[in-house]
Structure 1
Amino acid sequence: MNQNKKTSPSIEPDDKPRSQARSWIIDVIGYPGKSEDNSPEARHLCIKKRLSTLENSEAQVVVDFLDELLREGNLEGDQRKRALDLLCKTVQSEETVPRRLKLSDIRCNLNISECIATGGYGNIFKGQLSGRSVCVKVTPRFNHSEGSSEQIKAHVRELIVSSHIAHENILPFHGVWACEGGCLAGVSEWMDAGNLRHYLRKEPGTPRIPLMADIISGLDYLHTMDIIHNDLKAANVLYSLETQRALLADFGVSHVAATVATKPGQLGSIYWTAPEILVPEEGKDMSPPTPESDIWSFACTCYELLTDSTPFHQADGNTAISIQHPRLIVSMMLRKVVPPLPDSIVVHDGPKDAVLGPEIRDVLKRCWNYTPTERPSAQKIKSHISNLEYRDDRAHSQNIDYDRVLSIFHRVDPRCPIPCSPITQLDPPARPPETPITHLDPPARSLEKGPIFILMAALFFFFWWQIR
């Protein structure tokens, strides 16, 4: 008797706790980070703070779970941003990095004589991973002084953020490596061409606008993830010989900058820094890095591509006084000076330079507005550049036409939603254009006769039952 009883599918023992944990954490991250006391939002904020104070062993379990949740790809919009933020806050030390990020088969000589480049946040070495060249960025072990714990946490959080960023104009990140001394190194793709400024010196005839489009596309992606680059310049934009595209590197420094004291040599980026950060308005505190300050830096980076010069390398357009001290930059910003552009901008697009040059000049001038809120967003700049008719001989990256995907799915199964764009624009039919769209789908032609057939069948069945 029980053998014929139907039972509903049961959740596997290991999957039920996972499903429950997933539902609970999604509810927690569904609330904003700030709220009034004694509200549901405040209680959830308190929960997030408790998660950020877990001991290493417990934190590791939660970190691995949140890392898995983010990799599922089912989170959208604010959910993904808040989950990533919670993951970063839950990390307590270098020991609590998601286990799937840890790499063990790295071959790299960390002798200082092998250092390729150095910067305020680490030394760059060339290593090997599974026979491929990789970039190994080692952040020096901080001294056990006041604030060193926060510095280490900030460094580890940057590695985690890097692991959840994927875009065609972002340097691919492979994972982390526990190198000598116990510190963690970030491992990313190696680019033989080096940074953009070095590449353009070797290939000066390279069209500039496609590279600008790459940079703003990567920056727009970071901003949608609430990540501020905060160190955007040509030296931090690499060039891929394989894809012929510009790739942003060293992003997210703002998270580290909030907790790490300024180090000698870091003032090199002052030439690309927005005025509101260097010279706050009277009566106002110094502004933290923002998307708007990134836009200022974007314009300065474009200036490098166009002139092969450092921004503010001259006092003004009529003098040739080289600026050697940051105080002179501050003095210029107090006078609201912007980097001087040449009378004729060359973007290396042949005859179109006469038209495209002024367009780019206008974009840069708007980005150098001394009022941050008046600067265009990365999304607006990206859209504006995409509408320019410039030469781009590179192989186009694969873009999925989602309207077309929906159109195909709808023909396979009419229950699938109809795409917003007209089907005739996505997949033109062989019959004349004036044919109604509904004729593209064979099942739709029978919808008018369907009710009549059903009624006749019902009447036939009714009379048959009465005679019987």
Structure 2
Amino acid sequence: MSSTTLLDPDKISWQQLLTVDPNSDQFLQLAKSLLSSDKHRKFNVSRLSRKEAAQLADVIDTGILQKDTLPKNVKSAAFGILRRISGKFRKLPQSYLLEDGLSKEGDIPFSTRGFATLWKGQYDGNCVAIKMLRLGPEDDKVKIATRFCKEVLLWPYLHHPNVLPVRGFSISTCPLAIVTPWMENGNILEYTRKHPAANRMSLLVDVANGLRYLHRVGQIHGNIRGANVLISSDNPPRACLADFGLFAIMFDVFSMTKVSVNWTAPEIFTPGERDFKPTFASDIYALGMLIYEVLTGRSPFFYKRTKAELAYQVVQENKRPPRPQDAERLGITKPVWDMMVTCWDEKVSARHQIESVIKCLAEAAKVWVADVPAFYLASETGISQVMGLKGEEAQSFVDESYKGVDFGLDRDQLTIWEDIPCPVESIV
């Protein structure tokens, strides 16, 4: 029987895929016949037993999605079936799971922030990051697990030099966990503090390229900020977007209490606007804020004390960060600043497309000659490298140097800001 001849989809069933060898021509013929028709859209996964659902999920993963010989439309249809199975039965294919051999290092997490707690761990002889979702006693764990299993399906298939690869997941216990390579250089803020002469604009080009890739495959990031951009150990180092999609899983658990307000587009705060769900356009807004954060060394709106105050001013008063008077020293030329402002536009339709952002950043990266102002040196390591200072002497130097930088703030804002210790992390 020729593998190119399609069968009548009304005379075959999905269960038949479980009875044949996934590497056989018969399997490919069955898969193409089922997925090339509209029958896959009407397939009721609720009719499957849990055992059949688990088997079919594995067959779709290894027998269809991982096969280069099948056309994209067949794979796309198969992925839709897999997503429905995973959501209904809260199951992931076996190839996604890293339950055996995954271990945490120590009894204290590396960090706790936002939606997750980060642990350093080991898997298969390699150092990994284990990101466990933060779930409270009152949270609807079944609802979160359902959304988790649907949302993460695409992640292991994402391959781009500027997107942090996902090695797998742990779902056998709560909290749910995401496993990625451990990035020794830390995030882009930590890296540039230790390496103040780094070409920040080039790293931002990496970020924008990673975001373009995510958007092309239909993945919204949802939480772009400096802490979620990690730096590789390559030479030269690469910036990689991490933590994409977590907001989509957790948004109704924390509502606005854990949202990174400083980077969040105004429409996310507006009542009735998509139930706080991020969009491609809100990613562009956040990218503009990330550019400000990386080039200035400060979180956007770092001088605001409360989330409520900031959210009100962003939405009701259309407030955005002022352009620093020292912008040229920071590499924020007029074209770069104009690009950032357009990313922050109140009107979603007026914001830049990602291609325009990449073009602007790439041009700026070619002529990166930013001064290395003292406020970049926000770590003892960086200060020791450039100024030969250490310990309290180094911190005192940073504190005084920050005060000499004109961020374009008015007197009231500056008074508030001067009360905040330097260097300062995000207020959220």
Same fold at TM > 0.5: yes
1:137 maps to which residue? Answer: 131
| 2:84 partner amino acid | K
1:272 maps to which residue? Answer: 263
2:165 maps to which residue? Answer: 172
1:360 maps to which residue? Answer: 336
> Offset at 1:125?
0.6
2:223 maps to which residue? Answer: 231
- Residue pair 1:279, 1:330 contacting (<8 A) in 2 also: no
Per the alignment, do residues 326 and 189 of structure 1 end up closer, same or farther by CA in structure 2, a change over 3 Å counting?
Answer: same
Answering whether residue 45 of structure 2 is matched by residue 51 of structure 1, we say yes
Deviations 1:395-443 (A, max 9, x none): xxxxxxxxxxxxxxxxxxxxxxxxxxxxxxxxxxxxxxxxxxxxxxxxx
| 1:71 partner amino acid | Q
Deviations 1:217-276 (A, max 9, x none): 111111111111110100011111225011111001243135x42168513x01111011
Per the alignment, do residues 16 and 295 of structure 1 end up closer, same or farther by CA in structure 2, a change over 3 Å counting?
Answer: same
Q: Distance in 2 between matches of 1:79 and 1:108?
A: 39
Per the alignment, do residues 389 and 297 of structure 1 end up closer, same or farther by CA in structure 2, a change over 3 Å counting?
Answer: closer
1:343 maps to which residue? Answer: 325
Deviations 1:261-302 (A, max 9, x none): 2168513x011110111135xx86656311000000000111
Structure 1: gaps spanning 5 or more residues: 1-6, 29-39, 315-321, 393-468
Per the alignment, do residues 138 and 20 of structure 1 end up closer, same or farther by CA in structure 2, a change over 3 Å counting?
Answer: same
1:105 maps to which residue? Answer: 101
- Residue pair 1:163, 1:174 contacting (<8 A) in 2 also: yes
1:290 maps to which residue? Answer: 279
1:458 maps to which residue? Answer: none
Answering whether residue 3 of structure 2 is matched by residue 27 of structure 1, we say no
- Residue pair 2:3, 2:28 contacting (<8 A) in 1 also: no
Deviations 1:8-64 (A, max 9, x none): 9999x7314421332134325xxxxxxxxxxx6xx65332xx126744212212211
Deviations 1:367-411 (A, max 9, x none): 01110011112233224434556158xxxxxxxxxxxxxxxxxxx
Answering whether residue 122 of structure 2 is matched by residue 122 of structure 1, we say no
Q: Distance in 2 between matches of 1:90 and 1:346?
A: 53
Answering whether residue 213 of structure 2 is matched by residue 221 of structure 1, we say yes
2:142 maps to which residue? Answer: 149
Within the candidate set 306, 330, 336, 1:324 is matched to 306
1:372 maps to which residue? Answer: 348
Q: Distance in 1 between matches of 2:70 and 2:353?
A: 24
Q: Distance in 2 between matches of 1:264 and 1:273?
A: 10
2:253 partner SS = coil
- Residue pair 1:228, 1:253 contacting (<8 A) in 2 also: no
Q: Distance in 1 between matches of 2:275 and 2:3?
A: 59
2:408 maps to which residue? Answer: none
| 1:63 partner amino acid | A
Deviations 1:284-331 (A, max 9, x none): 6656311000000000111110111111224xxxxxxx3333333323
> Offset at 1:333?
2.7
TM-score by length of 2: 0.72
Q: Distance in 2 between matches of 1:220 and 1:159?
A: 19
1:301 partner SS = helix
Identity, % of aligned pairs?
A: 26
Q: Distance in 1 between matches of 2:2 and 2:58?
A: 31
- Structure (1 or 2) with the larger CA radius of gyration: 1
Range with greater deviation from structure 2 (330-339 or 214-223): 330-339
1:89 partner SS = helix
> Offset at 1:163?
1.1
2:296 maps to which residue? Answer: 307
- Residue pair 1:228, 1:254 contacting (<8 A) in 2 also: no
1:190 maps to which residue? Answer: 182
Q: Distance in 2 between matches of 1:228 and 1:222?
A: 7
2:167 partner SS = strand
| 1:172 partner amino acid | P
- Residue pair 2:248, 2:277 contacting (<8 A) in 1 also: no
Q: Distance in 2 between matches of 1:9 and 1:73?
A: 15
Within the candidate set 65, 70, 74, 1:70 is matched to 65
Deviations 1:79-134 (A, max 9, x none): 655544442332047862111122222232473xx201123432111111233211
Q: Distance in 2 between matches of 1:343 and 1:76?
A: 54
Answering whether residue 192 of structure 2 is matched by residue 200 of structure 1, we say yes
Per the alignment, do residues 210 and 25 of structure 1 end up closer, same or farther by CA in structure 2, a change over 3 Å counting?
Answer: farther
- Residue pair 2:199, 2:365 contacting (<8 A) in 1 also: no
- Residue pair 1:52, 1:89 contacting (<8 A) in 2 also: no
- Residue pair 2:169, 2:177 contacting (<8 A) in 1 also: yes
Per the alignment, do residues 188 and 256 of structure 1 end up closer, same or farther by CA in structure 2, a change over 3 Å counting?
Answer: same
Q: Distance in 2 between matches of 1:89 and 1:347?
A: 52
> Offset at 1:165?
1.1
- Residue pair 1:208, 1:306 contacting (<8 A) in 2 also: yes
2:396 maps to which residue? Answer: none
Q: Distance in 2 between matches of 1:77 and 1:379?
A: 25
Per the alignment, do residues 386 and 109 of structure 1 end up closer, same or farther by CA in structure 2, a change over 3 Å counting?
Answer: closer
| 2:228 partner amino acid | N
2:376 maps to which residue? Answer: none
| 2:264 partner amino acid | T
